[in-house]
Amino acid sequence: MENKNMTDIIEAYLKKVLKQKEQVEIRRSEIAERFDCVPSQINYVINTRFTIQKGYLVESKRGGGGYIRIIKVQVLDEVDMLNTMIEIIGNNITERDAKSVVQRLYDDKIITKREAKLMIVAMDKSLYTGDRVTDNRVRANLLRSMLANLSYEEPNKRKAD
């Protein structure tokens, strides 16, 4: 058996459940008990592996009857997806989140492998100033511009790998 960490195991479990249903409702304490880990590890998995950039919407309700609901986002077409990603990016984006956006677009066959590689290179922190605030703004502007340009093309003219 391959050596996976607890975060990967919990992520795989939740994704398996999401393949069977469009959404899953969990109680953090129940999942923590199931995997014999602390509840904060469940938060970590949800906050890092189930983001909107990766195609998930997370809702939560706190308190005794509280839950965490994870919903796999379904986008109608390529232009809708590109526009949604442009909105999500906003005025700044980290390198990690930018790469997640690009990966999602590639996974959903909205961009080609070549386009994804070029976009990933353009998001790399080594190309920027080192000032996090400025770099996140520049990265967001660049990525939004790329996605806007792709949305102007006819979707069927580009063919994903």
Q: Provide the pLDDT for residue 19.
A: 87
Domains and CATH numbers, the chain: 6-72 (3.30.56.130), 78-157 (1.10.1200.150)
What is the pTM for the complete model shown?
A: 0.59
CA distance 42 to 34: 11
Average pLDDT over residues 140-158: 77
Q: Kindly tell me if the per-residue pLDDT of 92 is higher than 90.
A: yes
Q: Provide the pLDDT for residue 71.
A: 86
Query: Residue 24 in contact with residue 14, Cβ under 8 Å?
Result: yes
Percentage of residues in the chain with pLDDT exceeding 90? 36
pLDDT tier at 123 (50, 70, 90 boundaries)? very high
Token pair 């990966």: residue:
103
pLDDT tier at 64 (50, 70, 90 boundaries)? low
pLDDT tier at 21 (50, 70, 90 boundaries)? confident
Average pLDDT over residues 65-74: 80
